[in-house]
Amino acid sequence: MEEKRVLVTRPFVGICHMQVCAMADVTDEEILVVCNKENPAGTQNGWSKVCRKNDKFWGKMAPVTCAQNPGRKHFMVGC
């Protein structure tokens, strides 16, 4: 069975974020398609942002390597 490139792991982190576990080379578009299909945000823009680095907007939510599979990362997604 083929492993999914993007898996929703925490459907809600607070009210504006969610977490996915994805292949390290995944694109933002791939992540957002899965998030909006499998866990709709319920907002006008849906899930629309993927955190790629720590900054003022995201704080310390940069992607981290998955502990169970080093070829994957955990990404935060925002609406």
Q: Given this model, what pLDDT does residue 74 score?
A: 98
Q: Given this model, what pLDDT does residue 33 score?
A: 98
Asked if residues 47 and 79 have their Cβ atoms less than 8 Å apart, the reply is yes
Classified as helix, coil or strand, 49 is strand
| Per-position pLDDT tens, the chain of length 79 | 568 999 999 999 988 999 999 999 999 999 999 999 999 998 999 999 999 999 888 889 999 999 999 999 999 999 9
Q: What is the CA radius of gyration of the chain?
A: 12
Q: Given this model, what pLDDT does residue 1 score?
A: 58
Instruction: Name the one residue in this structure whose structure tokens are 């609406």.
Output: 79
Query: Cα(40)–Cα(38) distance, rounded to whole angstroms?
Result: 6
